[in-house]
Amino acid sequence: MTLDLDMVITMYVKRKNSSAMDFFVLAMVSRGGLHCLYDLQQEVGLQPGGIQPVLKKLEQEGFLERSEQQKRRKRLMTVTKKGEHFLKEEWRDCQDDYGDVESVLRAATVGILMGDMARTCRYLLEMAKQHDKGVPIAMEMPKGEDLSAVEWYQHVRWQWESSRRKSAAGVFREIAKELEMTK
């Protein structure tokens, strides 16, 4: 496949603006067997209101095509040659340091769909380390009857954040361990 300069420039710009969700949708349609909005909703829990802007963006970039409405208002999706090339060449860029667990899990799923379990395991272990680093230092609960609502909120917020990040790090490690056993 030969690429012209416009296509190379477009792909570079698009890569810089692509999210884990963009790659996730492309990979799910291309390699995951999900070919309509209903499939994405039922099988991987994506909501139509949240996914429509992503589908529109992927269509505008020329990475995805949707058919005219079929029975029951279904529109079948296919990844274009340009989209397949983009996915094949650039998918690794989606495995980035995301603050939210869903994006990390989507990026890991893209790696699995692309057939690179070793890289995906390393990615998950790195995300576990990043989440461990971000665990806030424990705040001591102020003592006495002078505890303000703000102080109480700060304390419970720190507790929640610490617990959430430790939990995410543990889950990433468990998933990486499971993937290593399936190699």
Q: Is 134 or 172 the better-scoring residue by pLDDT?
A: 172
pLDDT band at 148 (very low <50, low <70, confident <90, very high): confident
Res. 1: pLDDT tops 50: no
Going by pLDDT thresholds of 50, 70 and 90, the confidence category of residue 15 is very low
In a domain, 138, yes or no: yes
Per-residue confidence at 138, pLDDT binned at 50, 70, 90?
low
Question: d(Cα 24, Cα 39) in Å, to the nearest integer?
Answer: 13
Domain membership flag for residue 51: yes
- Return d(Cα 124, Cα 121) in angstroms, integer: 5
Percent with pLDDT over 90 in the chain: 56
Judge if 33 and 82 occupy the same domain: yes
pLDDT tens, residue by residue, 165-181: 899 999 999 999 999 98
Residue range 10-36: average pLDDT? 81
pTM comes to 0.81
Shared-domain flag, residues 104 and 156 = no
Of 68, 34, 36, 70, the C-alpha closest to 52 is 36
If you average pLDDT over residues 49-74, what whole number do you get? 87
Q: Is residue 120 part of a domain?
A: no
Question: 97 with 135, same domain?
Answer: no
The domain in which residue 140 lies consists of: 125-182
Looking at residue 97, its pLDDT comes to: 86
Query: Mean of the pLDDT values across residues 105-128?
Result: 95
Residue 161, pLDDT score: 86
Q: Is 87 exposed, middle or buried (0-12, 13-18, 19+ CB in 10 A)?
A: buried
Number of domains in the chain: 2
User: Model confidence at 18, in pLDDT bands (50, 70, 90)?
Assistant: confident
The per-residue pLDDT of the chain, averaged, comes to 85
pLDDT of residue 8: 47
Within 8 A by CB and 6+ apart from 27, the residues are 87, 91, 109, 110, 113, 114
